[in-house]
Structure 1
Amino acid sequence: MTEYCDRGNLQNFLEERGKIKLEENRIALWLKQICSGLENFMHRDVKAENIFLSGENLTAKLGDLGLVKVLESPTGLAMTFCGSPYYMSPDILSHCPYGIKTDIWALGVIVYELSTLDKPFDASSMYSLTNKVLNEGVSIHLPPMPEEGYSEGLVKLMEKMLSKNPEVRPSATEILGDSYYKPRRPLPEPPKPV
């Protein structure tokens, strides 16, 4: 049985909102809620369409568990080429064995989308997208974040999540314990959407 999320998915929420900037508290709260749902398994299709919103406060919940892989250990690996192109990690795109941190990459893409209202990597074909993600130098060169409104802590956390090297990416548990959240506890509820 699945839970009904009465506010639809994150992709639809962003499309309906247009170019209206999100408050950092909302982004931080959603990141925390999604990370809480990513512990102990590999989702392998984290994307805006698979994050569902529920209730007056728009609680974020991870859905569409069709590609989930339950791991015997946190260091377990998978090989199946799966996921949604714009959210695929360099690990998957390079056809290497990948672990739970492939989901962190996808979540980093979502944090970028929530912060800028754009995708970090855009291309007209799968080949071009793969080339952009895999071959842009030693690290990913992200377009600039908006100058006002988002803390350095959020930007640094997102950059770690979008590291090409999965060993550098934090785990969901490490994100929840990141210094970004320490001075922010407890997170105030963001304003109710209009």
Structure 2
Amino acid sequence: MLFIMGSSSGKVLPEPSKNGYFCLISSVVNFKKQETDRKTCKEKQQAWLWRRSDRGASRRGISEGVKESVHLEERMRNPNAKFRAKFDPRVTARYDIKALIGRGSFSRVVRAEHRRTHQPFAIKLLEVKGREGHEACQAELGVLRRVNHTNVIRLAEVFETQHRVYLVLELATGGELLERVVARGTFRERDATKALMMVSSGLHYLHTLGVIHRDLKPENLLYYHPGRDSRLIITDFGLACWENNRRREDTAFTTRDANFDLSTDVEECCQDEDWAVRTLCGTPEYLAPEMLARRPCSSAVDMWALGVITYILLSGSLPFDQSSRPRLFRAILRGGYSFHGDPWKSVSASAKSFIDRLLTLDPEHRMSAEEALKHPWLVSMAACSSNKNLHRSISRNLQRRASRASSRCPSSGSTPGSRISMRSGSRPNSRPRLGVSNSSGQCVKIAT
């Protein structure tokens, strides 16, 4: 019992019993033990959670590593998988994309196969996001939708989205004109006339429609298949335009799911009478003098290019071959070429006459495609010409030219065969139009 006596200072506390003391100590010990156990448990729990997290992260890392490895393996096994993703589902539903075979400033070309018929095609993907891409698409599509000739590349169908146009074209697998010449082993004037007859036929058809190709050269003349009886087709209409800017009622385009009207742009282009025919575009070695002089051009510029092609086809060398573009352009404007050297002594006068009628400075007096088809050299299939094999001289001259071209600095702007990619015409409010070329500035050698 507790007694209180007087003030608090005189307070006498009872002596605690041993039982009570031990009870208190036991309680404190138990409390501390429980606290320690809780901390230990919590630490164990945290450690378990960390281990589980580490295992999960490890598993995720392994999983991501496996996925990356599989993805890398897939990319190695199928390097065109990334490019396939750019194609609209409507295209991939109908065509199996096989391989990327060419690229340009605004385009990519792939080899594809129709899923149902297994027929091979070339699909050209055109980017039309900007003005340049839009302009690069309109002329080519405008021409391809109208042409139908055995010696002109055929358009099978078109798919359009807001920023892309897919042109499904027939696939030419027979190689370029000069590649076939080199691979033959023998090449005579008669063989040249067979090829030139087909090219002239295609040009006559295009010019009758009012189409100017403006980039005719051997790289754009492809054989449809590797056989000896293959037809030769004119390809790559990226720089084509309409002669005299003809306004045709049938140039309106009807395409699937079009988000823009290309026919409107063609009409706008046709309203400016001089722009399309005064622009400087094409490949320097094949440019007609009137194009260099910035005079209005016509289908005669294609016939000048045919003359250059014929000269190369019979000799393996260029009629105008200079180390720089200024010298080259001066030579073209003078019309200075000759038939000296090998193998011109073995080439017939009729063949030289055919070239002279094409490499005429005055476009009014230059031979047309219709006249070319009636020229005695083509009509007779070089029957009166020498039967001499020109293959060795042609191959040797082509090899020399290739060696000179590889030794020249690409930055000098004098690399033979490189396309002039800027349309430097004076069309109001226009930006330069870039032609179809690859990253090195060389024209893409595909059926486009």
TM over 0.5: yes
Task: Measure how far apart 1:140 and its partner are.
Answer: 3.0
Larger radius of gyration: 2
CA distance 1:152–1:60, shift in 2 (3 Å): same
CA distance 1:29–1:35, shift in 2 (3 Å): same
Equivalent of 1:49, from 219, 229, 241?
219
Equivalent of 1:82, from 251, 275, 281?
281
Matched pairs, number:
178
Alpha-carbon separation, structure 1, partners of 2:284 and 2:378: 30
Equivalent of 1:158, from 345, 352, 355?
355
String of CA shifts for 1:58-89, please: whole Å, max 9, x gaps.
4221100111113339xx97111111001001
2:234 equivalent in structure 1: 62
Q: Secondary structure at the match of 1:61?
A: strand
Task: Measure how far apart 1:143 and its partner are.
Answer: 3.5
2:344 equivalent in structure 1: 146
Equivalent of 2:313, from 114, 126, 138?
114
1:30 equivalent in structure 2: 195
Runs in 1 of length 4+ with deviation above 2 angstroms? 10-14, 70-73, 179-186
1:189 equivalent in structure 2: none
**Could you say which structure has the higher helix fraction?**
2
Equivalent of 2:364, from 167, 187, 191?
167
Report which stretch shifted further, 104-113 or 159-168.
159-168
Equivalent of 1:96, from 291, 295, 301?
295
String of CA shifts for 1:156-184, please: whole Å, max 9, x gaps.
01111011111121111110122333444
Output the TM-score relative to the length of structure 2: 0.37
CA contact (8 A) 2:320 2:337 kept: no
Alpha-carbon separation, structure 1, partners of 2:224 and 2:285: 25
CA contact (8 A) 1:21 1:117 kept: no
1:192 equivalent in structure 2: none
Task: Measure how far apart 1:54 and its partner are.
Answer: 2.2
Higher RCO (CA < 8 A, seq sep 6+): 1
Q: Which amino acid aligns with 2:298?
A: G
Q: Percent identity?
A: 28
Alpha-carbon separation, structure 2, partners of 1:185 and 1:153: 8
Alpha-carbon separation, structure 2, partners of 1:120 and 1:97: 24
Task: Measure how far apart 1:44 and its partner are.
Answer: 0.2
Q: Secondary structure at the match of 2:312?
A: helix
Q: Secondary structure at the match of 2:170?
A: coil
Q: Which amino acid aligns with 1:69?
A: C
1:180 equivalent in structure 2: 377
**Could you say which structure has the higher strand fraction?**
2
Q: CA RMSD in A?
A: 2.5
CA distance 1:47–1:182, shift in 2 (3 Å): closer
Task: Measure how far apart 1:185 and its partner are.
Answer: 9.5
Give 5+ residue unaligned stretches, structure 2: 1-167, 248-272, 384-448
CA contact (8 A) 1:104 1:171 kept: yes
